[in-house]
Structure 1
Amino acid sequence: MDWYSTIFELIDMRSFSNLWFWIAVAVLWSSASHWVIGVPYDMIQRARRVGGQAEADLLDMVRIHVNRTLYIFDVSGVWLLTLVSFLLSALAMLGFYYGIEFAQAVFLMAFPMSLVALLNLSFARRIQSLEPRIETVAKLLLRCRFYVQLIGMVSILVTSMWGMYQNLSIGVLG
């Protein structure tokens, strides 16, 4: 037996039965719910609790990330939408029509993250249209975080159900 076979026996290369895939899913959703529009959750909590300089820092950070997000979308939004739509369509076709498990796994991570990106864009537009007060900004950021967590829970449920189906069907058929 050569080292190549040994490595591939040691590390299962099928996505849904691979521990590293599930660690990546956990890190992806943990990071997505912690960083809302580029602002960390602990910064929101500290600004609401402590006030003063923490509030000013939060409002500055929100202003910077909202302006950055909206600038990127205004400059290259159509191209980004086209590219992301193409990539998601290609992953969906490769994964679910041609049966490539890796493409299925990447699609089940990328599609919900595209919804999170649209959600962040929507909340960024909403925040930009408001007067920058800590109460309204923190409320909108926490609401956005809640929606990201909902998307994450549904995504993890769908991904785990699909992964169990894949593992059971391979075990029975393979």
Structure 2
Amino acid sequence: MGPRVDLIDFLTEMIDLRSFSNLWYWIGLAVLWSSASHWVLGVPFDLIARAGRKGGQVAIDLELAVGVQVRRALHIAESAGNFLIAFVFFVLTVLVLLGFVYGVEFAQAVFLMMCPMSLVGAMNLRTARQIVGLDLSGDALRKLLLRTRLKIQMLGSISIFLTACWGMYQNLLTGAL
């Protein structure tokens, strides 16, 4: 008989809170950034691309979808913006303290996901304000959404690189102990 895999050992390894050595963390990070770059202002990229290729009803659908998302984002920013900013900074501060002062790896991992995502939220809000301020529609609207997507992808690339570097450092540090 071959070696027996103990269910408890298997589950403990799969739910390990040492995030940087856990495959699920890296899968989650990839899904997070993939979703962030696919949904610009809550509008899927394929709709933006199809509106540029086909025009007509698809372009009208894009403008309607963007209008709904812009109004929603600006309403949330106006009604609860100060509270949300304070809450996000509170959570990020707690994660920094737990992760980088007290050495909790799980808090470091969550911080390395949340901090850039808060920047993505700010970028989306800035884009929403530009759309309203410049009264964009048609090709100009599509170009702004594509530029925002590119900025999010660049931020994602930098974030994933820095997270991978920090994760390798933590794995080497933990492996040395």
Pair in the same fold by TM > 0.5: yes
Flag structure 2 segments of 5+ consecutive residues without an equivalent.
Answer: 1-5
> Match for 2:126: what amino acid?
S
For the 8 Å contact 2:17–2:105, the answer to whether it is kept is no
Per-residue displacement from partner, 1:93-113 (whole Å, max 9, x unpaired)? 000000000000000000000
Provide the rounded CA distance (Å) in 2 between the counterparts of 1:131 and 1:14: 48
For the 8 Å contact 1:44–1:138, the answer to whether it is kept is yes
Flag structure 1 segments of 5+ consecutive residues without an equivalent.
Answer: none
Provide the rounded CA distance (Å) in 2 between the counterparts of 1:4 and 1:59: 52
2:172 is aligned to 168
For the 8 Å contact 2:14–2:22, the answer to whether it is kept is no
Provide the rounded CA distance (Å) in 2 between the counterparts of 1:92 and 1:137: 37
Aligned length, in residue pairs: 172
1:77/1:4 CA distance change after superposition, 3 Å: same
How high is the TM-score relative to the length of structure 2? 0.93
Provide the rounded CA distance (Å) in 2 between the counterparts of 1:34 and 1:139: 15
Tell me the SS of whatever aligns to 1:12.
coil
Give RMSD over aligned pairs.
1.3
For the 8 Å contact 1:59–1:132, the answer to whether it is kept is no
Matched, 1:125 2:152: no
Per-residue displacement from partner, 1:61-119 (whole Å, max 9, x unpaired)? 00000000000000000000000000000001000000000000000000000000000
2:22 is aligned to 18
Q: CA deviation at 1:129?
A: 1.4
2:49 to 36, 41, 45: 45
| Identity percentage of aligned residues | 54
How high is the TM-score relative to the length of structure 1? 0.95
Pairs within 5 Å for 1:72-91: 72-91=76-95
Q: CA deviation at 1:134?
A: 1.1
